[in-house]
Amino acid sequence: MSKKGLRLILGILFLGLLAWHFLIKDYNYRVSFTTKDSPGLVYRNLVGWEFLKDLENESIVELLNKQPYQVVSQSVRVNDSLFNYKWKISKTKDSLTKVVVYITDTEHQFKQNLLSPFSANNFVKRSIKTVQDLGQEWVNYRENYQIGPVSKNRVREQFCAYISLETKVANKAGSMVRNIADVMDYINANNLELKGDPFLQVTQWDQIQGTIQYDFCFPISPEDTLVNNTKVKFKTVAAFDGIKTSFNGNYSISDISWYTLLDYAKENNIPVHNLPFEIYKDDPHSGGNPIQWEAEVYLPIAQ
């Protein structure tokens, strides 16, 4: 090939690169990192992100769009500046989670396309710091809980008194606290004896909206004389096989363990029903360090 032809090809490639950079590429800057957190937990943390570190009163994060465990899009306002963050989440071959965020300065997109490849301006520095701060928060957050190894186990059949509730996953614990009196007052008023640890059985989980419907259950003897009640109901929970892990920490964040189980099921090709089942081994009303509270958490195996 002649030098003239080579220069022509290189010129076309350069023009194509410029056209992509200024006209096609829909972001100004990209940051990527890997974490040992599961894709589900990364997704959970991102959806719960509300403001920038050290800028609680000057920033606000608004969720624009989400695709569970894969994509989260957000607008991030800092004082009078507005940015878009699009996070893409994927699993690596070595069982880590790769996170890539595409960041856009919505009001100065052309300017940032021109400057960001060649200089670490304030936009680039802020983008890097924001991602680093968020990642460090996730690392620090791990001190609040412990998740045990995953195994297969069987949950025995149980008869229980229960109430049915619906809430955001993030508000699960508060929902239980507000309604536990309805069940316990009934149990105490009728002199019923508890036959095991209380448990939560999710009956529907909307992973797009982040809501659950669940039964909050207290095991009792099926031989007890039961009086009708407008809120408290009774049922037999059938035995089932599931994948199980243990969760230590405040029960308000026990859904963290759900994503560990989902990830394990996917990695090991185990068909499961996305209906978490939690057995509470400790009473939070007794106080103490939440890291010592234990729950057994299951996902039923699909038959």
Instruction: Give the pLDDT confidence of 90-101 residue by residue, as tens digits.
Output: 998 888 999 999
285 pLDDT higher than 80: no
* Crossing angle for the helix pair 39-47 and 256-267, to the nearest 10 degrees: 150
What's the pLDDT band for 110 if we cut at 50, 70, 90?
low
Please name the amino acid found at residue 97: T
Spatial separation of the C-alpha atoms in residues 280 and 264, rounded to whole Å: 22
278 contacts 297 by C-beta, under 8 angstroms: yes
Instruction: Render pLDDT for 122-162 as a digit per residue (tens, 0 to 9).
Output: 888 999 999 999 999 999 999 999 999 999 999 999 999 99
Q: Which residue reads 């057994």 in tokens?
A: 296
- Strand bridging mode 81-91 / 29-35: unpaired
Residues 6+ apart with CB under 8 A from 148: 245, 246, 247, 248
Domains of the chain, start order: 3-146 (3.30.530), 148-300 (3.20.80.10)
Instruction: Report residue 204 as tokens.
Output: 């529907």
**Rounded distance between C-alpha atoms, residue 108 and residue 235, angstroms:** 60
Task: Put the strands of the sheet holding 59-67 in their side by side order.
Answer: 29-35, 97-105, 81-91, 71-78, 59-67
User: 168: which 2 tokens?
Assistant: 């955001």
196-240 pLDDT, tens digit each: 999 999 999 999 899 999 999 999 998 766 777 888 999 999 999
The model's pTM is 0.86
